[in-house]
Amino acid sequence: MRAFIFPGQGSQAVGMGQALAAASPVAREVLQEVDEALGQNLSRLMAEGPADTLTLTENAQPAIMANAIATVRVLEREGGIRLAEKADFVAGHSLGEYTALCAAGAIDLATTARLLKLRGQAMQAAVPVGEGSMAALLGADLAKAQAIAGAAAEGDVCSVANDNDPTQVVISGTTAAIDRAIAIAKDHGAKRGLKLPVSAPFHCPLMQPAADAMRDALAQARIDAPLVPVYANVIAGPASDPDTIRRLLVEQVTGMVRWRESVLAMAEAGTGSFVEFGGKVLGPMVKRIVPDAEAISVVTMDDIEALLKAL
């Protein structure tokens, strides 16, 4: 069995998707449709930067999605395959869950782009810049990370945001609490704590205003049943019912991204091959979670052609 997986924030880079767009009219169509949906020349920002503008949450989220969907669409249309025939499950890391839903036909491309633009704006607006932070706890599993977050909180918000793999967990909360967590990380058995270059504390209770905004937006958005089950971040399990998907996407804003558990659950369901589209972030995580699994990253036209031969 096979899962198609989609990366989250941090995988953006100036120049992303440009070689693919130059080689494929299908990829160009995807980028143009996203530009039109947003009323913004996002494709030029992806191509030319500047990097600090591309990295803004409201730009990075739709850009990462557009790049990954372009890769999938080229595979499907130029390779003559259907996702539902080649993938048993889809999943994505944080915003990548929206990409997964788009790839699986649950949300159309224009709606996905607009939802992610709003999601980025709402997440940035939820907490004033400087008041919230995130840190990666390297060499820490979930239990150690929870202990560090609990010890560092001291009445502030400090919680696990991303359980990425057995060696990396990300925490999120007020800047003061995150600074304390970094200071005590080694004492609790982590190799070190590393503050992340993000502009807001994602996936923690401080994001409640953004969750409220997404609840309103998702209530108005058309969501269909996906062609294959989507493994949702907050339950680390499959979801196919549109109302359930809406609810889980709202919970995801403040909830923990249970990526490690999601990969384990897909593996336990029989998945032996994981194909990451539009990035090279999740593949290494998969290998740390399920060492025997096949993990492939598909970014370029050469990658797509190689995958077509393997499918």
SS3 of residue 173 by DSSP: strand
- Residue 230's beta-bridge partner residues? 90, 239
- In degrees and rounded to multiples of 5, residue 276 shows phi and psi of -90, 130
> In the annotation, is 240 catalytic?
no
Least Cα distance to 274 among 98, 141, 96 occurs for 96
Residue 207 makes CB contacts below 8 A (sequence gap 6+) with 123, 126, 127, 200, 201, 253, 254
Contact 24, 74 (CB under 8 A): yes
DSSP 225: P
> Is 94 a known active-site residue?
yes
Choose, from 94, 199, 262, 297, the residue flagged as catalytic.
Answer: 94
Comparing C-alpha atoms, which of 95, 142, 89, 93 is closest to residue 270?
89
Burial class of 49 by CB neighbour count within 10 A (0 to 12, 13 to 18, 19+): middle
Instruction: Compute the residue count for the chain.
Output: 311
- Whether residue 50 is preceded by a cis peptide bond, meaning omega within 30 degrees of 0, is yes
Residue 302 to residue 24: CA distance in whole angstroms: 12
Q: What gap in Å lies between CA 200 and CA 162, rounded to an integer?
A: 14
Joined tokens for residue 3: 């899962």
Considering 24, 199, 203, 262, which one is annotated as catalytic?
203
305 by DSSP, 3-state: which?
helix
249 token code pair: 């996407």
297 bridge partner residues:
276
Question: H or E stretch including 263?
Answer: helix 259-268
List active site positions.
Answer: 94, 203
